[in-house]
Amino acid sequence: MRSRYTAYTQANIDYIQQTMKLPAANLFDAEKVRQWATEIKWIGLKVIASSCDKTKGIVEFVASFSYHDQLQQMHEHSEFRLEEGKWFYVDGKILPSHPTTATVSKIGRNETCPCGSGKKFKKCCGI
């Protein structure tokens, strides 16, 4: 899960695609995802809950990002499957309490960065 988040922050869409299996892989559009990933600034990942057994893992998370100086969140319930010693993303459901494009607030350039660094937004994630 965390490696996929890191791949998104680096727009490493090849890795994202390599760590997917059906049914999620059927809906994946690498070019749209690449464009989306390069247009936003990732701020943080908070894992809310996780569980796993021998072959299946579930992760609920909130990923925060900035898009045109608007702080947004993606709250998802993701399912992973273990195959040949590797975990693959197989499905995800956006949770309605935090829609993908829900605007939380507009970040002023002189406000403290929401990533938690303590720096001003313009000197941190607002670059």
| Domain region containing 71 | 2-123
The CATH number assigned to the domain holding 18 equals 3.10.450.50
pLDDT of residue 70: 86
Beta bridge pairs of residue 75: 62
pLDDT of residue 67: 87
73, 98 in Cβ contact below 8 A? yes
How far apart (Å, rounded) are the C-alpha atoms in residues 15 and 89? 11
The per-residue pLDDT for range 45-72, each reduced to its tens digit, is: 999 999 999 999 999 999 999 888 788 8
Give mean pLDDT, residues 119-126: 78
Domain count, the chain: 1
Beta bridge pairs of residue 77: 60, 93
